[in-house]
Amino acid sequence: SSLLLMSGVVVAVGLCRRLARRRLRSRPLLFAFLVEMFSTFQICACTNELSLLGNVEPKPHTALTLTYGFTVLHGLTLAGSTCNPCGTLQPMWGGGTSLSLGGLKIAAQFVAAVLARVFMHFIWSLEMAEPHLGALSQGCSSPMQTTEMQAFCIELLFSVVFQLAVLQAENVNPKYRVHLIALLITMLVYAGGNLTGAIFNPVLALSLHADCFYDRFMSYSLVYWIAPCLGKFFILYVF
């Protein structure tokens, strides 16, 4: 049921992106906003559902396999979208994207994160699948299982590694690049998922753990918002 749900989200987002591409080419700002919002919604909704499957046996093989598979699927179906404020900062820094367009895309990403959370909570309330039972009663299921400073350093390091890999893979054939990036993300999740969740994406962190941001805003904004952005700025400054 969970796989069917995530597949349905991917299909629906693909149809919405295609419709926006056909109808809104003459309105570039609205087109850019909606495409980025749809794409980020897909990643946040699917990752919310994947987070419920982390305890499926055999552990952690099932969760890692699903992470790799859906990361490849996102890479193939969401070409042209960053779905990450840190990724949007790069063309803004280099002058390839205007400040207004970059800000619009980041706003779309945060809107999508909230919409995905609301949508998934509605789906979970229907309790159509076994993993959905009791999902809404968990509250803040904190991914931070270490000290705040260690979590900050881990997310900063993972952001640097990920953003550097993306830059280095720009000249790789796209059909191979998505697999390389998916493999890297899976390895990072395996290495640090039990400590911080290995998220290194501010909007995804908000969508997955909004309750934790409400309870401990300063701590979680430092680890899951500021650390990834600092990692991106470090890469931009060095390279």
pLDDT in tens, 120-173: 999 999 888 787 887 787 767 778 888 999 999 999 999 999 989 988 888 888
Average pLDDT over residues 29-58: 91
Please state whether the predicted TM-score (pTM) of the whole model is above 0.75: yes
Instruction: Please tell me the predicted confidence (pLDDT) of residue 157.
Output: 95
Average pLDDT over residues 52-60: 79
CA torsion angle 203 204 209 212 (round to 10) = -40
Domain boundaries, the chain: 2-238
Instruction: Please tell me the predicted confidence (pLDDT) of residue 236.
Output: 81
Q: What's the rounded Cα separation, in Å, for the pair 38 and 75?
A: 14
| Superfamily of domain 2-238 in the CATH hierarchy | Glycerol uptake facilitator protein. (1.20.1080.10)
Question: Which of 114, 118, 104 has the alpha carbon at shortest distance from 204?
Answer: 114
Determine the 3-state secondary structure of 196 from DSSP: coil
